Structure 1
Amino acid sequence: MEQNTESAAIVRANRKTRVGVVTSNKMQKSITISIDRKVKHPKYGKFMHKTTKYMAHDEKNECNIGDLVKIMETRPLSKNKSWRLVEIIERAK
């Protein structure tokens, strides 16, 4: 029994986290986060900007557009939403 709880705690601790900017908060208890990253083109070698959008669960509706937030992977909450808000790192100015 003890071994099962230890392994469950280890698996739970290895969830993915991302840091991004809130681009939409028009939904109830949901936000859209954009994460910008630089990717090298496979053939030409030029670095390009790629943007990935995630939908995340915001239980208290506390995020505003432009906030820098940290999100963590969780069980699927809806068709497109499998991330949740962990903390607001920096408020929008």
Structure 2
Amino acid sequence: MPKRILEGVVVSDKGDKTVVVKVERTLLHPVLKKTVRLSKKYHAHDEANALKVGDLARIVECAPKSKLKRWEVLSTASAS
């Protein structure tokens, strides 16, 4: 089964080797037929502590690394 890859913005880098990535998605409301933006935060493992708040991050599913971390950083790109 292929692993899921998500892209989002780093909103916190306070934890050691951990970043919190906010991923936004859009969907069409079934009744109102209006586009709705939903967001979710994922805790991801960042081995190099390279990401800072505001950076764009691609994360990939992995085996559980801690209570909250089920994702790890795949690649980075600055959003400046």
When the two structures are superposed, what TM-score results if normalisation uses the length of structure 1?
Answer: 0.80
Q: Hey, what does 1:49 align to over in structure 2? A: 37
Which runs of 5 or more residues in structure 2 are unaligned? none
RMSD between superposed Cα atoms in Å: 1.0
Structure with higher RCO (Cα < 8 A, 6+ apart) = 2
More strand by share: 2
Residues in 2 aligned to 1:44 and 1:15: alpha-carbon distance in whole angstroms: 33
Q: How does 1:11-50 map to 2 (within 5 A)?
A: 11=1, 14-50=2-38
Q: Partner amino acid for 1:39?
A: L
Residues in 2 aligned to 1:46 and 1:19: alpha-carbon distance in whole angstroms: 23
Which is greater in Rg? 1
More helix by share: 1
Residue 46 of structure 1 and its aligned partner are, at CA, apart by: 0.8
Dislocated runs of 4+, deviation >4 Å: none
Corresponding residue pairs, total: 80
Q: Hey, what does 2:52 align to over in structure 1? A: 64
Q: Partner amino acid for 1:78?
A: S
Which runs of 5 or more residues in structure 1 are unaligned? 1-10
Residue 71 of structure 1 and its aligned partner are, at CA, apart by: 0.7
Q: How does 1:71-90 map to 2 (within 5 A)?
A: 71-88=59-76, 90=77
Residues in 2 aligned to 1:20 and 1:92: alpha-carbon distance in whole angstroms: 10
When the two structures are superposed, what TM-score results if normalisation uses the length of structure 2?
Answer: 0.93
